Amino acid sequence: MQEIANEAGINKALLHYYFRNKNLLFEEVFLDAVKKFHPILKNAIEQEVDLYQKIHQICEAYITMAIDNPFVPVFVLSEVNKQPEIFIQKMFGGDLPDFPKLAAQIEKEVSLGNIKPIHPQQLILNMMSMCVFPFVFKPIFIIGMQANKEVFNQLMLERVKAVPQFIIDSIKIQ
């Protein structure tokens, strides 16, 4: 609270005046900021379009969200691993993206022979991983690659197209 007050150029007492206590501050500031993105991401997953389009939409939604708000992936993944049920309830309000529906769509394409055989849940994990992970991995990547923020940001921009391309290259039938 002291650090926040310093940063804001006010004092602790005023923080309590505005937010009553530390937990309410946390929820109003962080959770509200993060909850904004939920409908966008949920919508990308639940849109009624064909699979390749959907892969593009999901990757674009997740990666651009993370580019514009790089703190969100780190924040969500840190918090959700502290108290999974509680955080998910607060964050999604029991209204998570419909992953099973997406899995069913993948399953259908596989059974129709339109894409290579793959476990739908593995494909979903692969897609989510490639969209979100780099933003959490960023510090290690930059130091390990002897890169810098500008290089990293450029790579992330490229990923909006590169990730769906990579996925589709892997699952498409020649």
Q: Shortest Cβ distance from residue 137 to its own copies (Å)?
A: 6
Q: Shortest Cβ distance from residue 9 to DNA (Å)?
A: 7
Other C-beta atoms closer than 10 Å to the C-beta of 115 total 19
Name residues contacting its own copies, limited to 83-142 (CB under 8 A).
84-85, 88, 96-97, 99-100, 103, 116, 118-119, 121-122, 125-126, 128-130, 132-134, 136-141
Q: Shortest Cβ distance from residue 32 to DNA (Å)?
A: 18
Lookup result for tokens 């949920």 = 42
3-state secondary structure of 94: coil
11 in contact with DNA (CB under 7 A): yes
C-beta of 7 vs 169, nearer to DNA: 7
20 in contact with DNA (CB under 7 A): yes
Lookup result for tokens 């999974």 = 84
Other C-beta atoms closer than 10 Å to the C-beta of 171 total 19
3-state helix, strand, coil in the chain (%, to 5): 80, 0, 20
3-state secondary structure of 115: strand
Distance (Å, rounded) from C-alpha 76 to C-alpha 70?
11
Question: Binding segment for DNA among 8-16, 105-113, 150-158, 165-173 (CB under 7 A)?
Answer: 8-16
Classify the phi-psi angles of 64: left when phi > 0, otherwise alpha if psi is within -120 to 50, otherwise beta.
alpha
173 in contact with DNA (CB under 7 A): no
47 in contact with its own copies (CB under 8 A): no
Q: Name residues whose C-beta falls within 8 Å of residue 128's C-beta, 6 or more positions apart in sequence.
A: 62
C-beta of 16 vs 42, nearer to its own copies: 42
Site residues (vs its own copies, CB under 8 A): 74, 77-78, 80-81, 84-85, 88, 96-97, 99-100, 103, 116, 118-119, 121-122, 125-126, 128-130, 132-134, 136-141, 143-147, 155, 158-159, 162-163, 166-167, 169-171, 174
